[in-house]
Structure 1
Amino acid sequence: MSDLHIQRDHHLGLPRAREVARAWALKAEEKFDMECTYEEGDTQDTLSFTRAGVAGTLLVDAQQFDMTAKLGFLFSAFKDRIETEISGQLDELLGTPNPTSVA
């Protein structure tokens, strides 16, 4: 198994961050056939996502997105591509450039 970790700081506040996280969940369900569940907390929400070969969480708070995922054997070969795709989606939703693509 391979681990994936993506972190993004933001200045959205929790209500807007929730909207962004839910928008990402919809994309993940449509594009990657993920099953997503969203649980709101007082100061932090948890978006859990899963499909065959992938399981993870996106922690959402007023200042940061913190995603961790475990990739199964078949998906671990595509870890870099998956990380780039997810990072790009989050950056697009946040309206920020992808830090890995900034020279």
Structure 2
Amino acid sequence: MINITQPHNLAPDVARAAAQQVADKLAHELGLSCRWQGDVLRFEKSGVEGTLTLLENQAQMRIKLGFLYGAFAPAIRSKVAEKMRKVFAPG
């Protein structure tokens, strides 16, 4: 399980756009399908499932990897954490 929490000071609509950027990157790189349910972006494909939850001052990413993707967990975590830092950065 990969858990990443990224603080932010973004307005809700800007935070949602930032979350969509992260989702688009994941969808492109891992072939995931994504859908919003309120303030929770759910994504999945065989062997990968997770959520990106938008809260007032933070975004929380949780990714559950199946056996085949488990070996790639450190690389996936690093890429996702970096993308989240970039899109949710203050400023």
The code of the aligned residue for 1:33 comes to G
Larger RCO: Structure 1 or Structure 2 (Cα < 8 Å, ≥ 6 residues apart)?
2
**Aligned to 2:10, what secondary structure does the other structure show?**
coil
Q: 1:20 matched to which residue of 2?
A: 18
Distance 2:7 2:87 in 1: 13
Cα RMSD after superposing both structures = 1.3
TM-score (norm 1): 0.80
**Aligned to 1:12, what secondary structure does the other structure show?**
coil
Distance 2:27 2:65 in 1: 17
Out of 42, 57, 70, which is 1:76 matched to? 70
Identity %: 30
Runs of 4+ deviating beyond 4 Å: none
TM-score (norm 2): 0.89
Distance 2:19 2:43 in 1: 12
Normalized per residue, which structure has more helix?
A: 2
Deviations 1:14-57 (A, max 9, x none): 121111011222222222211000122xxxx0000111211011
Tell me which structure has the larger Cα radius of gyration. Answer: 1
Distance 2:11 2:18 in 1: 11
- Stretches of structure 2 that go unaligned for 5 or more consecutive residues are none
Matched, 1:93 2:87: yes
Distance 2:83 2:15 in 1: 14
